[in-house]
Protein backbone atom coordinates (compact mmCIF):
# COMPACT_ATOMS: atom_id res chain seq x y z
CA UNK A 1 0.00 0.00 0.00
CA UNK A 2 1.03 3.59 -0.57
CA UNK A 3 1.05 6.03 2.34
CA UNK A 4 2.45 9.53 2.88
CA UNK A 5 6.01 9.32 4.17
CA UNK A 6 5.32 11.34 7.30
CA UNK A 7 2.57 9.04 8.58
CA UNK A 8 3.48 6.77 11.47
CA UNK A 9 2.78 3.07 11.35
CA UNK A 10 0.24 3.64 14.13
CA UNK A 11 -1.68 6.14 12.03
CA UNK A 12 -1.61 3.96 8.95
CA UNK A 13 -2.83 0.92 10.89
CA UNK A 14 -5.67 2.78 12.57
CA UNK A 15 -6.72 5.31 9.97
CA UNK A 16 -5.91 3.70 6.63
CA UNK A 17 -6.32 0.00 7.43
CA UNK A 18 -9.06 0.30 10.08
CA UNK A 19 -7.01 -1.89 12.41
CA UNK A 20 -8.14 -0.02 15.51
CA UNK A 21 -7.06 -2.82 17.83
CA UNK A 22 -3.73 -1.02 18.06
CA UNK A 23 -4.18 1.82 20.57
CA UNK A 24 -2.24 4.97 21.36
CA UNK A 25 -1.32 6.17 24.82
CA UNK A 26 1.23 8.91 24.24
CA UNK A 27 2.40 8.86 20.60
CA UNK A 28 5.88 9.58 21.90
CA UNK A 29 7.18 6.08 22.52
CA UNK A 30 6.75 6.20 26.28
CA UNK A 31 3.95 3.82 27.24
CA UNK A 32 4.11 0.72 25.02
CA UNK A 33 0.37 0.83 24.27
CA UNK A 34 0.86 0.90 20.48
CA UNK A 35 3.25 -2.07 20.36
CA UNK A 36 3.02 -4.28 17.27
CA UNK A 37 5.33 -7.04 16.06
CA UNK A 38 7.62 -6.42 13.10
CA UNK A 39 9.11 -9.71 11.98
CA UNK A 40 8.27 -11.06 15.42
CA UNK A 41 9.91 -8.30 17.44
CA UNK A 42 8.02 -5.67 19.45
CA UNK A 43 8.07 -2.23 17.87
CA UNK A 44 6.37 0.96 19.02
CA UNK A 45 4.16 1.74 16.05
CA UNK A 46 3.90 5.42 17.02
CA UNK A 47 7.61 5.83 16.33
CA UNK A 48 7.84 3.57 13.28
CA UNK A 49 7.52 4.86 9.73
CA UNK A 50 5.99 2.51 7.17
CA UNK A 51 8.47 3.78 4.62
CA UNK A 52 11.19 1.98 6.57
CA UNK A 53 9.21 -1.23 6.86
CA UNK A 54 8.73 -2.26 3.26
CA UNK A 55 8.59 -6.03 2.87
CA UNK A 56 8.50 -6.67 6.60
CA UNK A 57 5.79 -8.70 8.36
CA UNK A 58 3.68 -6.63 10.70
CA UNK A 59 1.44 -8.33 13.20
CA UNK A 60 -1.25 -6.54 15.21
CA UNK A 61 -3.64 -7.91 17.84
CA UNK A 62 -6.12 -8.64 15.06
CA UNK A 63 -3.67 -11.25 13.77
CA UNK A 64 -3.13 -13.13 17.00
CA UNK A 65 -6.05 -15.54 16.75
CA UNK A 66 -5.57 -18.28 14.19
CA UNK A 67 -8.33 -20.24 12.41
CA UNK A 68 -10.89 -18.86 14.83
CA UNK A 69 -8.89 -19.97 17.85
CA UNK A 70 -7.63 -17.38 20.27
CA UNK A 71 -3.93 -17.31 20.96
CA UNK A 72 -3.23 -18.96 24.34
CA UNK A 73 -2.18 -15.54 25.65
CA UNK A 74 -5.54 -14.05 24.67
CA UNK A 75 -7.35 -16.97 26.28
CA UNK A 76 -5.36 -16.67 29.51
CA UNK A 77 -5.78 -12.88 29.67
CA UNK A 78 -9.55 -13.28 29.36
CA UNK A 79 -9.82 -16.10 31.89
CA UNK A 80 -7.62 -14.51 34.54
CA UNK A 81 -8.95 -10.97 34.36
CA UNK A 82 -5.69 -9.57 32.98
CA UNK A 83 -7.60 -7.05 30.88
CA UNK A 84 -9.53 -4.51 32.94
CA UNK A 85 -10.18 -1.47 30.77
CA UNK A 86 -8.41 -3.36 28.01
CA UNK A 87 -6.73 -0.35 26.49
CA UNK A 88 -3.14 -1.45 27.10
CA UNK A 89 -4.01 -5.10 26.45
CA UNK A 90 -3.18 -5.40 22.71
CA UNK A 91 0.30 -3.96 23.21
CA UNK A 92 0.96 -6.18 26.20
CA UNK A 93 -0.31 -9.29 24.43
CA UNK A 94 2.03 -8.73 21.50
CA UNK A 95 5.02 -7.96 23.73
CA UNK A 96 4.30 -11.16 25.62
CA UNK A 97 3.97 -13.11 22.38
CA UNK A 98 7.43 -11.94 21.36
CA UNK A 99 8.78 -12.94 24.78
CA UNK A 100 7.35 -16.45 24.57
CA UNK A 101 8.67 -16.81 21.03
CA UNK A 102 12.12 -16.11 22.37
CA UNK A 103 11.83 -17.76 25.76
CA UNK A 104 9.01 -20.34 26.03
CA UNK A 105 9.43 -20.81 29.79
CA UNK A 106 10.25 -17.42 31.27
CA UNK A 107 10.61 -16.89 35.01
CA UNK A 108 8.29 -14.34 36.62
CA UNK A 109 11.18 -11.89 36.74
CA UNK A 110 11.83 -12.40 33.03
CA UNK A 111 8.16 -11.69 32.32
CA UNK A 112 8.41 -8.53 34.42
CA UNK A 113 11.48 -7.40 32.51
CA UNK A 114 9.93 -8.09 29.12
CA UNK A 115 6.80 -6.10 29.99
CA UNK A 116 8.58 -3.23 31.75
CA UNK A 117 8.01 -0.96 28.76
CA UNK A 118 4.24 -1.42 28.76
CA UNK A 119 2.32 0.69 31.23
CA UNK A 120 -0.97 -0.54 32.66
CA UNK A 121 -2.88 1.67 35.10
CA UNK A 122 -5.67 -0.75 36.02
CA UNK A 123 -4.35 -4.13 37.06
CA UNK A 124 -1.25 -3.61 39.18
CA UNK A 125 0.24 -6.10 36.67
CA UNK A 126 -0.41 -9.11 38.92
CA UNK A 127 -3.05 -10.75 36.74
CA UNK A 128 -1.05 -9.92 33.62
CA UNK A 129 2.01 -11.75 34.96
CA UNK A 130 -0.23 -14.65 36.03
CA UNK A 131 -1.80 -14.83 32.57
CA UNK A 132 1.53 -14.82 30.71
CA UNK A 133 2.74 -17.63 32.97
CA UNK A 134 -0.45 -19.64 32.41
CA UNK A 135 -0.24 -19.19 28.64
CA UNK A 136 3.43 -20.23 28.63
CA UNK A 137 2.56 -23.35 30.59
CA UNK A 138 -0.30 -24.28 28.28
CA UNK A 139 1.79 -23.65 25.17
CA UNK A 140 4.60 -25.84 26.47
CA UNK A 141 2.15 -28.61 27.26
CA UNK A 142 0.47 -28.48 23.86
CA UNK A 143 3.72 -27.86 22.03
CA UNK A 144 2.08 -24.97 20.26
CA UNK A 145 4.49 -22.53 18.66
CA UNK A 146 4.58 -19.07 20.12
Partner 1 sequence: MKANKLSIIGQSLPKIDAWAKVTGETKFADDMFLPRMAHGKLLRSPHPHALIKRIDTARAAALPGVYAVITGHDLPRVKFGILPVSQDEEALCVEKVRMVGDAVAAVAAVDEETAERAAHLIDVEYELLKPLMSIEESLASPDVRIHEYGDGPNVHKAVSLQFGDVEAALAGSHLVREDVFYFEGNTHLPMEQHSAVAHWGPDDKLTLWSSTQTPHYVHRLLGKILDVPPAHIRVVAAPVGGGFGGKLDPFAHEIAACKLSRLTRRPVKITLTREEVFYVHRGRHPVLMWVKTGFAKDGAITGMHFRSWLDGGAYGSYGVASTFYTGALQTVTYKIPVYKFEGARVFTNKPPCGPKRGHGTPQPRYAMECQIDKAAEQLGLDPADMRRRNLAEPFTKTANHLTVTTIGLGECIDRVVEASGWREKRGKLPPGRGIGIACSSYLTGAGLAIYWNDMPHSGVVVRADRSGLVAVLCGATDIGQGSDSVLAYVVAEVLGIDPKDIRVHPADTDLTPVDLGSYSSRVTLMAGNAAIQAAERLRAKILDAVATKLEVESDTLVMRDRRVFVDGDPDRGMSFAQAVVHAESRFGVLAFPGSYAPPKRVGKYRGGGVGPSPCYSYSACVVEVEVDKETGEVKPLEIWIAHDVGRALNPLLVEGQVEGSVYMGLGEVLMEEQVFRKGVHKFPSMLEYKSPTTLETPEIHTILIETDDPEGPFGAKEAGQGPLLPVIPAVANAVHAAVGVRIDEIPISPDKVVKALELKRQGKPARLGPEKLPLFTFPEPRMIESAFGQPAEAIAERPFAS
Q: Applying CB under 8 A, which residues contact partner 1?
A: 14-15, 18, 20-28, 30-31, 33, 60-62, 64-65, 70, 74-75, 77-81, 83-90, 93, 111-113, 115-129
Q: Which is nearer to partner 1, 18 or 67 (CB)?
A: 18
Nearest Cα residue to 14 out of 95, 106, 3: 3
CB of 77 to partner 1, least distance (A): 5
CB of 96 to partner 1, least distance (A): 11
CB of 144 to partner 1, least distance (A): 17
Using alpha carbons, list the distances in angstroms from residue 130 to 79, 87, 97: 11, 18, 14
Using alpha carbons, list the distances in angstroms from residue 139 to 17, 33, 106: 31, 25, 12
DSSP state of 39: T
Q: Which is nearer to partner 1, 24 or 138 (CB)?
A: 24
CB of 45 to partner 1, least distance (A): 13
Q: Which is nearer to partner 1, 38 or 119 (CB)?
A: 119
Q: Are 5 and 49 in contact (CB under 8 A)?
A: yes
Q: Which is nearer to partner 1, 53 or 87 (CB)?
A: 87
Longest dimension (CA), the chain: 45
Amino acid sequence: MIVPVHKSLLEVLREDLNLTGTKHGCELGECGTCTVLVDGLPVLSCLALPVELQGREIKTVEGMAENGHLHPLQQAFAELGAAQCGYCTPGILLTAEALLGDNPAPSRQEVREALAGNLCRCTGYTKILDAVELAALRMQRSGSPA
